[in-house]
């Protein structure tokens, strides 16, 4: 199952990093490193169409034509797991603004619950990159898109690692204008709302919070 706005990163480096994050024996430092690499690959695709403006720079030899990024970019990680994806995107867009959204999934209803949201009252960014390793039911992503659109953001793009068909379908139904960039589209969600085959709880594994 695919949909028009879903972009999957088909790259040997992504395949290798996916192997690492799926492996339950991978320790947290190596898990975070693989998430970093996957995020960079997804971000390169997600930012490919950002607008630029023509300018000139003075090299040590001559004046040369150049292109400058001509857009305000906001990085919006969905806490907690989305934090593991912030630094890789900032390494590509150092001037990007970072705003946090705290959402957790109710284990009974599988619906998102907001516990932190503090977007500024100032003019919204031009492009918002929403970060969350997992697009499962799609509830948290949809809630984030709702808040960002209410803020006034016109261009929303989602960066993740894994997506479930159910989440992709839910986003397409609620926000068909949002593009999704992930490393893999997995098979399905289980009864607990986890992606299968998946990689477990990305936040717990990234921050060494897996119960023994």
201 is known as an active-site residue: yes
pTM: 0.90
Q: What is the mean pLDDT of residues 17-29?
A: 96
60 found inside a domain:
no
pLDDT of 102 > 90? The answer is no
Q: What is the structure's pLDDT at 104?
A: 66
Residue 118, φ and ψ in degrees, nearest 5: -145, 65
Task: Name the active-site residue from 26, 72, 105, 126.
Answer: 105
| pLDDT tens-digit series, residues 136-146 | 999 999 999 99
User: Is residue 14 one of the residues assigned to a domain?
Assistant: yes
In a domain, 134, yes or no: yes
Which one from 109, 146, 177, 187 is the annotated catalytic residue? 109
Say if 107 falls within a structural domain. yes
What domain range includes position 105?
Answer: 6-49+73-206
Q: How many domains does the chain have?
A: 1
Burial class of residue 51, CB neighbours in 10 A (0-12, 13-18, 19+) = exposed
Average pLDDT of the residues of the chain: 91
pLDDT in tens, 166-207: 999 999 999 999 999 999 999 999 998 899 999 999 989 998
Q: Is 64 part of any domain? A: no
The structure tokens 């516990």 sit at: 115
Higher pLDDT, 212 or 72: 72
Position 54 in a domain? no
**Any catalytic annotation for residue 186?**
no
Domain harbouring 140, CATH code: 3.40.50.2020
Which whole number is the average pLDDT over 97-105? 81
In a domain, 61, yes or no: no
Q: Which residue from 208, 201, 111, 106 is spatially nearest to 162, judged by alpha carbons?
A: 201
**106 belongs to the catalytic site:** no
Residue 79 is assigned to a structural domain of this protein:
yes
């Amino acid at each position: 199952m695919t949909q028009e706005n879903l972009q999957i990163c088909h790259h040997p480096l992504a395949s290798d990093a996916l192997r690492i994050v799926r492996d339950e024996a991978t320790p947290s430092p190596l898990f975070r490193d693989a998430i970093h690499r996957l995020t960079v690959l997804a971000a390169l695709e997600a930012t490919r169409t950002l607008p630029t403006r023509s300018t000139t720079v003075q090299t040590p030899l001559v004046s040369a034509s150049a292109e400058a990024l001509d857009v305000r970019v906001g990085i919006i990680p969905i806490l907690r797991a989305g934090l593991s994806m912030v630094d890789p995107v900032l390494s590509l867009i150092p001037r990007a603004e970072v705003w946090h959204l705290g959402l957790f999934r109710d284990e009974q209803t599988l619906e998102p619950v907001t516990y932190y949201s503090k977007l500024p009252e100032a003019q919204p960014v031009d492009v918002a990159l929403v970060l969350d390793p997992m697009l499962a039911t799609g509830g948290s992503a949809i809630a984030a898109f709702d808040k960002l659109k209410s803020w006034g953001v016109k261009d929303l793009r989602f960066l993740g690692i894994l997506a479930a068909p159910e989440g992709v379908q839910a986003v397409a139904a609620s926000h068909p204008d949002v593009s999704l960039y992930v490393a893999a589209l997995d098979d399905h969600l289980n009864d607990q709302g986890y992606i299968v085959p998946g990689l477990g709880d990305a936040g717990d594994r990234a921050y060494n919070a897996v119960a023994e």
